[in-house]
Structure 1
Amino acid sequence: MKENMIAKILFIIGIVNIVLGFIIGLVGAAEDQVVYDAFGMGRVQSGFNFTYFISWATGGFVTGMLFIGFSEIIKLLHVINWKTPMPQQVSNKENLLKETTSPSNKTVQTSVDWTLGETEVEKIKEKYAEYHILDIIPSNVEGYCVVRLQTGAEEFVHVVDINGFGVVEVKDAGIKKTIISWYNDLQK
């Protein structure tokens, strides 16, 4: 999976901002004052200015949390863009099995007149960068493509969904079967 460096940098900037706000507040709040008496003699009095410390520490914390929040938003948008699965915290294995094995109730609407855009082709090429792509064919179902790949002497076909922000390999058996049968008829 591609990493999002901007989100990491914003997260680090947020942490550094919080730490620096606290440190600058501590250093700046420690104050030394020279107090002169009636005879012109001065004494040094040390003190701690709480308002200075609180303002710097609070300001550093708030701006740091803003940077961390922006980094989390960018991470979520990155996941949506590449359609990468979020880490799931599933404690019940039966629920996970039901989700993965349940049959799909999607209806497949076929159409023939659609073309691939440059961005979709680039996303497919990025997803299958480790393979040699022989052909990318828009299928009879809009938003789905057949990708012919080659590894060494082997040739194989993948059905991919390009409807969203990224390229996802189709797991639905019904859609996959429809598109593969259309592709086989096309090859005859």
Structure 2
Amino acid sequence: MEIYGKINKPFWDDRPVAVIGGGPSLLDLDYDKLRGAHVLAVKGSIFHVPWADAAFGLDFNGSRDKLASVQSRVYLAVREDQLAGAGLPSKNTTYLKRLDGQGLSDDPGVIYGGGCSDFGAMQICIHKRAKQIVLFGFDYEARWSAWAEHFRVYVPYLTAHGISVVNASPSSAIGCFQKVALRDGIAICANGKGS
């Protein structure tokens, strides 16, 4: 029996995609204002935005049982050596094959971990054919600057495919994407169109 699945329809090329990380800048975010966009919740953010289109994580730190009760599709990137302990996915969960490193996969069934779930979440958006991505809670303070640099691997692909990414965390250490104020990120999502 094949445990791994893949990302497929519905695609997210019709509206902006709001990706909800876990940084402290989310304290001022009214999630309901994002309802004009597709929403991808990273890890525990799904419990703050239960109506999100999907959730993604490299792990969910003890929340796996709670995930079975959310209405959203849950994508979980699992290494082959972890499959035995992962058990069968619940009906709303799709296991994706996880590879280590800061690569970018063209295969909709494979995700590079990049060291954190936020990095992998960007690949979910790409596989869902997003054209406008707005990052929320991707704060990556100075102490995370090495991980923030991992996101640079996306720039050539995004440019070549006409995909726009803005980071609505103005103090973020991720310097390869345009930074905008939280309210401007919300406006992009609420208007249902790219900038």
TM-score bracket relative to the smaller structure:
under 0.3
Structure with more contact order per residue of length (Cα contacts < 8 Å, sep ≥ 6): 2
TM value normalised by structure 1 = 0.19
TM value normalised by structure 2 = 0.19
Which one has a bigger Cα radius of gyration?
A: 1
Q: Which has the higher helix share?
A: 1
